[in-house]
């Protein structure tokens, strides 16, 4: 994803920023938690950290904060 130029807003901002991505990922993991195929792919009983990491990744990918790379190193 390329950086927006002066005067442009990022897709992250256009979609509503952190609030949008937090809700998107929370909805996804609510479904994962009860899915008989996807749930076994997550060994931890608590999906909170997986949810947080996906949220950070998507935020960064769509032009938001670089927290994912800062924390995860990739």
Task: With beta carbons less than 8 A apart as the criterion, state whether 67 and 56 touch.
Answer: yes
Predicted confidence band at 7 (pLDDT cuts at 50, 70, 90)?
A: confident
Provide, rounded to the nearest whole percent, the portion of the chain with pLDDT above 70: 91
Number of CB atoms found within 10 A of residue 13's CB: 14
Is residue 6 predicted with pLDDT exceeding 90?
no
Number of H helices, E strands in the chain: 4, 0
Total-model pTM: 0.85
pLDDT of residue 2: 63
Which has more pLDDT, 24 or 3? Answer: 24
Pick the CATH number of 14-72 from 1.10.490.10, 1.10.15.40, 2.40.50.140, 3.20.20.70: 1.10.490.10
| Backbone φ and ψ of 19, nearest 5° | -60, -45
């Amino acid at each position: 994803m390329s950086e927006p130029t002066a005067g442009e807003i990022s897709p992250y901002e256009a979609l509503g920023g952190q609030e949008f991505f937090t809700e998107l990922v929370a909805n996804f993991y609510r479904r994962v938690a009860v899915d008989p195929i996807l749930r076994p792919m997550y060994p931890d009983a608590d999906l909170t950290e997986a949810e947080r990491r996906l949220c950070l990744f998507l935020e960064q990918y769509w032009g938001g904060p670089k927290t994912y790379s800062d924390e995860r190193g990739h």
